Structure formats: C-alpha cells, structure tokens
Structure 1
Amino acid sequence: MANPVPVQVLFFFLSLFHAHASTSTTHASKVDVPYTSIILPIRKDVATTQYHTIIDFQISSNPVKATLDLGGQNFWFNCDHINVSTAHPIPCASPKCKTLLDGKPTCTSRSSKAAATTSTCAVSASNSVTGLVVCGQSLYESSISVDTSDGRLYLFSEQLSPFYFACSSPGSSLFQGLAKVSAGLIGLGRSPLALHKQVTSSLNLAPKFAICLPAYDKYYGGSMFIGGGPYYVANRTAAFFSVSLTTTPLVTAPSASNEYFIDVLAIKVDGQPLRFDSSLLSIDNHGVGGTKLSTVNRFTVLHTSIYKALVHEFVSKAAARNITRVASVAPYEACFSVKSTAGTRTGPRVPTIDMVLPGNMNNVVWRIYGVNSMVKAKKDVMCLGFVDGGYNARTSIVLGGHQLEDYLIEFDLSTSRLGFSSSLHLQYTACASASRLF
C-alpha cells in the first residue's frame, strides 16, 4: 500500500513558526487580522488507535491530553493532572448550574480539595470506550489558552474564560480502556458543556467544528478547527488549494440526542447496491437503527445483515478484479493477498464502497477507497476493515475512525448539516504532518 507523503496539511507546517511566540502579538494586530476559528492538534495513539488532543489549562503546569469523543457531553479529567485547588467549583444552587445542565441541575455532597461547600453542581462522566457512566462528578470553572487561525495561519493565543470541566479521582474505573497518554475524555456532542459549544459561545464564533483525523501514530498529526472555515490544504508541492465540502443533513436519534447521525440511503460496492432490509437504515421511534459517526470505534460496525451483504458483494467484486482471497484473520472475514493488487495514491486498488446520502438537490456519495476500507492484518495480508455488530445492534451503522481518517469533516450546527471532503489522498496529501509534536 502506498503511503501518502507526510506533508503539512491544513497549514500545519506553519505551526513550526508558531511555538507560542504569537502570544506577544498586540491587540492592534488582532483587530487587523481577525480570526475565524481556533485550532487544536489531534494525535492518534498507537496501542489503542484512539484520537486525542491537548487542553492548555491556566491552572496546570502541563497541557492535559484527553481522548476525543464525538458523542461525549462534557469534559472530565484526572484530578491529579490539574491543580483543582485553584479552580472554582460551581454551586449547585446557582443559576449557572441550571443553565449549563439545561435546567435540570444535579448536585453532589462529596467534598473535594477545591470545594469547601458540600453541594456543588454535578455532571455525569461517561467513558464511551468501556460504556461506563459515573454520576456525581463536581463541575468546576477555570480558563484555557487556545490558538487562533484565519484559515491559513496561526495568529495568536486567546484566553477562554470561563471554561467548565469535571475531574475524577485517579483510581476511578472511568480511566479503564483509555490510552496511556490520555488523562480523560473531551466531549464533542450536542451539549452546552461540549468543547466546541464552550469555545464558540465564549469567543462569538460560528457554531461549527471540523476534524481531520490522522492515520498515523503520535509522530504525525491531524487537527480540529472550531468556528468554521475557510479550510485550505497543502499538497506535496506545498501549493494551497481550498477544500470543497459536500454536505448532507444531520439527523437526531430520539434517544441519542448528543450524537451525530446521517441518513444513509444505500450502500454500493463498485456501483452495485447491497441487498439487505433497507428499514435498518432508518431510525425508529425508540432510537434503533440509522447511521452515526464515532471517533471512539476503531472500525465501522455494521448490523449483521448489512455486514454479510457487504462482505458478499466485496468478495465478488474483488474476484472479478483477480484479487486473491486468503484465510480470514479475526476479527475480519474478507482477507486478501497484498501481492494480488496494485498500490495507488488512495491505497490498494480494491472495490470502492459508496454511501449514498441526501444532498441539497440530488443524492450525494461518500466514497471510501482502499486506504480507508482495508487494514493490514499481517504480512502480505490485508482485510476489509469493517466489523460485525450482531443482529441486535442498536445502531445499524457506526462509522468508525479508520473510515473517517484523511477526510476533512465539518459539523455545522447552525444549519444541522455535515460537510465532508473527498479523500485527501486524491490530492496527494493527508491529515498527517510532522509538526507540533506533543
């Protein structure tokens, strides 16, 4: 499989000149060059393939690394990573607590180092990796430092205050399953306490955020933009071009209001529609079915009926291309010899997988090439990187990280639309870059 050149994508190479020297930029410069978004780095953990970023707390001597969760409601961290004694607990009886928790405040009576009161505003902390939810985590406020951008350049650092978060005891089972580098979880769901909501509300930015997930490990990275575009990409010639996005509506599941769903109308392999019960693609009144996006799932998880249809059609189309099938490698069913297919800029030359989605006027297609559909299982063996979720899967399709990598994906909450680019590999580039290591 041909790897993309680790170019500086989405102006990441300019961060080499940043190094936080921009904090000395004057107020006049801020007025002359207004920013449209803030930017955070995204890294991929080798062992867990989880994606994480950093939050630069004013009350911490070191930035806090935490796992990204598209469906998460809030922030929670290891208390030992933050000097909570200098943070401000939110009183349960305060109007602020009521507002932040959508009018339904809960309280905790457990004392902490940061709170003399025995009644502080409390949130539930959830670990989407293990499914564990722990209630009664005290909510605090502090401030963080963020880097601003106009779509091409880093401009200066901006302070965001107040910034709300919860912290948990180091021995809590909440931390099980998280990457070793991760001190907690950052929620990006539809919640007042989600990262993007706090940033856009505080800095008066557009209610949008975009992610570009990297395919490589911690030595390469992607990025997250909060506040919207414009978005620019540099290819291997270092020439900038504007990223165009195809859009489709975001839909809401009745019982999963914090997560992001899209309406998949059909799935095709090399243009051939899969045959399965199409009602699985709809969300019923109980929130069962449909398609959601996840940064926590490593691979796309499919209802068994969809999975079997995909494997059957993919194997058939691969045979027509003279791609040699080999023995399965758990947990993958459809595996092939690497030597029987050529490498291209979009990965191995295998059948394409299309998700057909509603557009503005006509249907649109999210095309998945070999670099996102295949995974190396062992030497000279590649497998179809989709997972069987069983017949009782609550969500019929969960689009996982591997299938989302190296696409620029924007969540526009003002219009309730999802925007996505074509594979960045088509432009000889990717979300990976060698800048801003942490």
Structure 2
Amino acid sequence: MSSNITICFVILLVIYSIPYPSFSSFLAPIVKDHTKHHHTLKLSLQNPPQPKQLLLDLGGTLSWVDCTTTSHFITCNSSICHALSSSQGPICTSNNCNIQSTNSLTKKPFVVKVLVDSLELPLTDGRNPGQLKEVNEFVLSCSDRGILKKLPKNAAGLAGLSRSNLSLMAQVSKRFALPKVFALCLSGSVSAQGVGFFGTRGPYFFLPEIDLSKYLNYTPLLSISSNQYLINVTSIKVNGKPLQLNQTSLTVDQNGAQLSTTSPYTVLHTEIFEALIDLFERESAVLDLTIRPPVEPFGLCYNADDLLMTRTGPAVPTVDLVLGHDDVFWRIFGVNSMVRILRRDVDAWCLGFVDGGDEPTYSIVIGGHQMEDNLLQFDLQTQRLGFTSSVLVHNTMCANFNFTTNINVS
C-alpha cells in the first residue's frame, strides 16, 4: 500500500514540475488581400462575439467599423468620454461623444463618433494560440460606407495600430498591464496567414521551432510629434554600393522614413526612385537580364524567364536601407524587392518601388510588400523598431506560425 502511495506522489511531483506555457500576451491572425495588396487583422468584436477582418493600419489613431453594425455609442456625460477629454479633446454633438481621428485612408483628421464594444483576442505563449480573452469597453469609432469602399473586399473596418493612446495595441496593453509593444509578421502567401503579437517582446516561434525574436536588430523610432512610426534611413545601397543622392531628399522636412501597412509598395521621393532604378539596372547588367517595357506603377521590369529563383526569391542585387550606421541595415532580397506581374501577354518581374513625386510628405514610405516575411517589433517603451530582414534566410516564413494547436489555458 505504501509503495502505491509513493508512486502516486512521484507522478504528481513530476506533473507539477512540468513547466506550463505562460499565456500572458495576445495574438491575431493576419490575412493578405491579393486584390488591393493590403493586410487585414482577424479578431472578434461585439457580444456575442462576431468574427471580423479589419484593415491593418499603422497610421490609425483608433479602430473603427461600419456605423450600421453597432449601437454602442457613448454620451458626453459618460465616464469614458470624460476620460478622453485630457488627451483627445471630445466634441459633443446631440449628446454624442465625438473625437478627432486620423487614418491612412482619409489622410486628413476628421471627427468620428466614439463607441465601446467587446473585443476578444486569443492568448498566446508565443508558440500556440490559447483561449479567447475579452477586452471589455474597447473604445473605437465608426464611419459611413463611403470610407468602407476603400477597404479590401472582406474588411469590415480598420484596426488602428498607431502610437495613439487609443490604438488597439495601447488599449490591450493598458487593460492587462502588458508591455506597450507589438510585433507583425506579414505573410506574402496566397493562402496562408501571418500573425500579430500584442504585449510581448517574445518569444515568437515559427515552424520548425524557430524563435525569431533572437534574430532582431534594432533602430530608434524617431520622436516626432506624430502618431506615425518613423525611422532614420541615412542611405540606400544596391549590392553594397550607395545611391548618389542629395542628402536632403532622404529627409524631407526631417520627417524620416514612414512605415505603412496601407501602402502596398515602398514609395520614394523622385530623386531617390530614379537613382535606385539607375543603380539597380547597372548592378543587374552582369546577370544578362532582358529589360522590357515597365508595367505601371513600376519603373523597371525584366522578362520573368531570365531570372533564376533562390530561397529568397529572384536572384537580383540586394537593396539595403542603412539605418544610422553602416553596420545597421535592413536588407531587402529579391522576394521583397521584386513583384511578379503575370497577366495576358505579360510575364515579368518588376522592381517593387514606386515614384512618389518630388514633394512628398515622407521621402520614403516603406510599404507592405517590403515588410512581408520580415518580423517587425514596434516597442513604444524603449522607442525602437526591431527588424529581422527576410526570415526566409532562417528557414521559416511568416505563414509558419502554428495556429492549429489551441491550448485552453487562461
């Protein structure tokens, strides 16, 4: 009898000594819309929860949905509206609480109604999803169908992820006392989704058991009075050779380079765009590629049959965004620098950068295509951006997060 008790005690001791995963942060799947080349965040809103896809917007001050889908507007005398008065300055109309907001679709600030709803996100240990957790009294806004027309087909609204105190990330972090940090891994796959992590600096595990947080490099986020995420790009190199530029074209109004998930491709000041096209063409000459007429909106295209394929996409010169120091750079391989155009009588690979004119707000806007299969960590407590360059060199991809295992641990 005593031996059986001893065995049971040992079994219990082993069970309780097994380290259980810590499900203390959140995640959300990210889906690419291949029509408008945007990415949407999958989450659950309302009570009972309804699955929604919201356009991922790094420039949105808060999230919003269609006004016809909700009735949870708040009044001017509510505690939530009073809480907004110190930072957002609510505007009262017919006892409705309104605030001024911005997003990347409208560009200019506009007044929106404030509402609250229930948000649910899966918990995560960085390796798997856990059970859903509710974020009650989630503050968002709504808009009319005019703006909805600008969204991807399946999007029901917009997920604001800017530096605003009302962004999705800021509200989740505050509600659960988590670090004010999130990470995005956008998938370029036609069918497989990427992932966003909220409230954690890692680990971020991707099959086959690779923690991408170990491969992060860092550069400061510029402290400019803006809700945008801006970094300091001091030069651009092709195959290690710098573009010959007037330095002021890299720092229009000293604003830095903007990161934008609503811009499908990286947009450049005309001088930078033309210099990049020229140097990229010269560096590609040794590859004996056939240049074909460009396909809009791009400025340099090659016949697809001429390009060899590698693990990191078409074999073309690398493009480096140098971030302050020569030894800190975001390397762009062919999978992110080139775009495949396949339609009717066109089969081409085009350099995936767009001319933004000679008077842009930002001399460089780093777009979604250049972010795909790169892990990006936005840390507002340390005021820095973590970046990996292409995770394909580490034998994984953003579509490799394991969504199939759901462990019900709260």
TM range (shorter): 0.7 to 0.9
Aligned mates of 2:79, 2:89 — CA distance in 1: 9
TM-score norm. by structure 1 comes to: 0.82
Instruction: Decide whether aligned partners of structure 1 residues 142 and 177 sit closer, same or farther in structure 2, where only a CA change above 3 A counts.
Output: closer
Aligned mates of 1:101, 1:323 — CA distance in 2: 60
Instruction: Decide whether aligned partners of structure 1 residues 156 and 186 sit closer, same or farther in structure 2, where only a CA change above 3 A counts.
Output: same
Runs of 4+ with >4 A deviation:
433-437
- Partner amino acid, structure 2, of 1:240: I
Aligned mates of 1:331, 1:385 — CA distance in 2: 9
The SS at the match of 2:59 is: coil
Gaps of 5+ in 2: 1-15, 405-410
Aligned to 1:252: 223
- Partner amino acid, structure 2, of 1:97: C
The CA deviation at 1:179 is 0.9
Q: How does 1:154-303 map to 2 (within 5 A)?
A: 154-169=129-144, 172-217=145-190, 219-235=191-207, 238-243=208-213, 244-254=215-225, 257-282=226-251, 284=253, 289-303=255-269
1:372-402 CA distance string (max 9 Å, x none): 0000123431110100000011110000000
Gaps of 5+ in 1: 1-27, 110-117
The answer to whether the 8 A contact 2:88-2:100 is kept is no
The CA deviation at 1:337 is 1.8
The answer to whether the 8 A contact 1:76-1:125 is kept is no
Selected match of 2:370 from 403, 409, 416: 403
The SS at the match of 1:53 is: strand
Aligned to 1:21: none
The answer to whether the 8 A contact 1:39-1:148 is kept is yes
Q: How does 1:28-427 map to 2 (within 5 A)?
A: 33-60=21-48, 62-82=50-70, 84=71, 87=72, 89-94=73-78, 96-100=80-84, 102-109=86-93, 118-131=94-107, 133-135=109-111, 137-169=112-144, 172-217=145-190, 219-235=191-207, 238-243=208-213, 244-254=215-225, 257-282=226-251, 284=253, 289-358=255-324, 363-378=327-342, 379-427=346-394
Query: Which of the two has higher C-alpha Rg?
Result: 2
The SS at the match of 2:170 is: helix
The SS at the match of 1:355 is: strand
Aligned mates of 1:134, 1:385 — CA distance in 2: 32
1:294-341 CA distance string (max 9 Å, x none): 000010000000000000000000112222212211221111122222
1:327-365 CA distance string (max 9 Å, x none): 211221111122222110000000000011136xx7401
After TM superposition, the structure 1 stretch with the greater mean CA deviation from structure 2, 417-426 or 296-305, is 417-426
Equivalent pairs counted in the alignment come to: 383
1:180-232 CA distance string (max 9 Å, x none): 21111111011111000000000111110000111123x31101000123233
Percent sequence identity over aligned pairs: 37
The answer to whether the 8 A contact 1:72-1:194 is kept is yes
Q: CA RMSD in A?
A: 2.3
The CA deviation at 1:105 is 2.2
Aligned mates of 1:383, 1:261 — CA distance in 2: 26
The answer to whether the 8 A contact 1:280-1:290 is kept is no
Aligned mates of 2:34, 2:239 — CA distance in 1: 32
The CA deviation at 1:33 is 4.5
Aligned mates of 2:82, 2:219 — CA distance in 1: 34
TM-score norm. by structure 2 comes to: 0.87
Instruction: Decide whether aligned partners of structure 1 residues 373 and 242 sit closer, same or farther in structure 2, where only a CA change above 3 A counts.
Output: closer
Instruction: Decide whether aligned partners of structure 1 residues 351 and 189 sit closer, same or farther in structure 2, where only a CA change above 3 A counts.
Output: same
